[in-house]
């Protein structure tokens, strides 16, 4: 861990450790140390530049959810300390909606939802980040649906002309990280499967998934087996049937006492022109930032399959883009 605080035994320990320090231990000022001054944080909802805005957003979240926890489920990573490392960090977060904030008046609801954050770190600092929070799961647990929440958010932010624009290629900011991952075969396998599915080769699901696969999807949806995967991926692709699917980052890892696993960050960019997960087609141009984690196992000798999958995108950011281009928001 050259260049990093010696209290961290390895890169996963660094990622999980600083997350706990910043959020649960309330050492928010350490963002000045752990985040570079000009860090670029991209989430489906916005693009933020600079750690001062990150600090402000962190305090706002903790004011609304003071008991929030971030439980690190996995850190799938690549790189070297000398050159910089990229982590794809999957978290299960719990929180009670105790005070007013971006989600409205407090409801007392106890929430549980996932996050996947891709972070580039060098010399004990994170300087580039892609963050996907399962907003669909949050708002549904608060008794809302993602479309209605997005429409209300547009209004609360001042209307279509004044509201915060969701993340798209038009407002992206280039950060220092230029890597695309590693060449581990498990990452290649997951990336190849996703490409096949997005090119309508849905037979890849029965070829690649274990029949008992456990699946976690946006909106807090849990599914199983071939039908669960088919329904999710078919619904997404059917909504944007001609959109450009791109893989941006691929990591595969084999670590002691862990199953082979992979992390892929991807985007889907095109027109909402089909019936699927996002309802009646609107013709809106939509940019989807997504991330997929997978674990593999060999239940039958010589036949390793995908046994667990976690895929996230932000439904509310997709609806916000759709609404901003239709009369529904005006």
Q: What percent of the chain has pLDDT over 70?
A: 99
270 CB-near residues (< 8 Å, 6+ apart): 240, 242, 243, 244, 285, 286
Edge-to-edge strand order for the sheet containing 244-253?
221-224, 209-217, 305-312, 285-297, 261-271, 244-253
Average pLDDT over residues 293-308: 96
Contact 209, 196 (CB under 8 A): no
What span, in angstroms and rounded, lies between the C-alpha atoms of 194 and 246?
10
Instruction: Assess whether pLDDT exceeds 90 at residue 91.
Output: yes
Average pLDDT over residues 156-162: 96
Q: Would you state the structure tokens that stand for residue 105, as one six-digit string?
A: 């008046």
Contact 250, 180 (CB under 8 A): yes
Instruction: Assess whether pLDDT exceeds 70 at residue 310.
Output: yes
Contact 325, 281 (CB under 8 A): no
- Residue 52 is predicted with a pLDDT of 92
- Residue 202 is predicted with a pLDDT of 98
Instruction: Assess whether pLDDT exceeds 80 at residue 306.
Output: yes
Instruction: Assess whether pLDDT exceeds 70 at residue 287.
Output: yes
Instruction: Assess whether pLDDT exceeds 60 at residue 329.
Output: no
Confidence label for 42 from pLDDT (cuts 50, 70 and 90): very high
Mind listing the pLDDT tens digit for each residue in 228-259?
Answer: 999 999 999 999 999 999 999 999 999 999 99
Mind listing the pLDDT tens digit for each residue in 2-39?
Answer: 999 999 999 999 999 999 999 999 999 999 999 999 99
- Residue 122 is predicted with a pLDDT of 98
What span, in angstroms and rounded, lies between the C-alpha atoms of 126 and 190?
26
Give the angle subtended at the CA of 47 by the CAs of 329 and 92, to the nearest 5°: 95
Mind listing the pLDDT tens digit for each residue in 101-150?
Answer: 999 999 999 999 999 999 999 999 999 999 999 999 999 999 999 999 99
Mind listing the pLDDT tens digit for each residue in 62-84?
Answer: 999 999 999 999 999 999 999 99
Cα 44 → chain centroid: 8
Average pLDDT, the chain: 97
For the chain, strand residue ranges (E) read 35-43, 46-49, 69-80, 84-96, 110-122, 125-133, 209-217, 221-224, 244-253, 261-271, 285-297, 305-312
Q: What residue has token string 């996907």?
A: 132
Q: What residue has token string 């600092």?
A: 125
83-87, 221-225, 298-302: which has the minimum mean pLDDT? 298-302
What span, in angstroms and rounded, lies between the C-alpha atoms of 25 and 253?
30
Confidence label for 327 from pLDDT (cuts 50, 70 and 90): low
């Amino acid at each position: 861990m050259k260049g990093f605080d010696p209290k961290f035994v390895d890169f996963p320990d660094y990622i999980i450790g600083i997350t706990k320090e910043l959020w649960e231990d309330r050492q928010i000022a350490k963002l000045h140390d752990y985040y570079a001054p000009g860090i670029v944080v991209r989430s489906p909802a916005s693009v933020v530049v600079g750690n001062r805005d990150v600090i402000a957003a962190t305090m706002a979240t903790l004011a609304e959810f003071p008991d929030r926890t971030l439980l690190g489920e996995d850190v799938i990573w690549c790189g070297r300390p000398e050159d910089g490392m990229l982590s794809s960090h999957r978290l299960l977060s719990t929180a009670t909606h105790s005070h007013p904030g971006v989600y409205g008046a407090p409801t007392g609801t106890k929430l549980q939802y996932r996050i996947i954050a891709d972070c580039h770190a060098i010399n004990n600092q994170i300087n580039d980040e892609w963050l996907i929070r399962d907003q669909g799961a949050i708002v549904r647990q608060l008794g809302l649906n993602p479309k209605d929440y997005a429409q209300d958010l547009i209004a609360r932010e001042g209307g279509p002309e004044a509201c915060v624009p969701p993340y798209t290629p038009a407002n992206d900011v280039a950060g220092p990280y230029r890597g695309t991952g590693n060449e581990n075969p498990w990452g290649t396998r997951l990336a190849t499967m996703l490409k096949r599915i997005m090119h309508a080769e849905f037979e890849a699901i029965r070829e690649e998934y274990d029949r008992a696969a456990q699946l976690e999807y946006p909106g807090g949806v849990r599914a199983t087996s071939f039908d669960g995967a088919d329904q999710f991926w078919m619904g997404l692709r059917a909504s944007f049937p001609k959109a450009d699917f791109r893989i941006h980052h691929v990591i595969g890892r084999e670590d002691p006492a862990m199953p082979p696993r992979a992390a892929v960050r991807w985007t889907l960019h095109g027109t909402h022109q089909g019936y699927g997960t996002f309802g009646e087609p609107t013709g809106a141009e939509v940019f989807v930032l997504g991330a997929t984690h997978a674990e593999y196992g060999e239940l039958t000798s010589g036949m390793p399959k995908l046994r667990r999958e976690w895929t996230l995108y932000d439904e509310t950011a997709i609806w916000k883009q759709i609404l901003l281009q239709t009369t529904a928001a005006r």
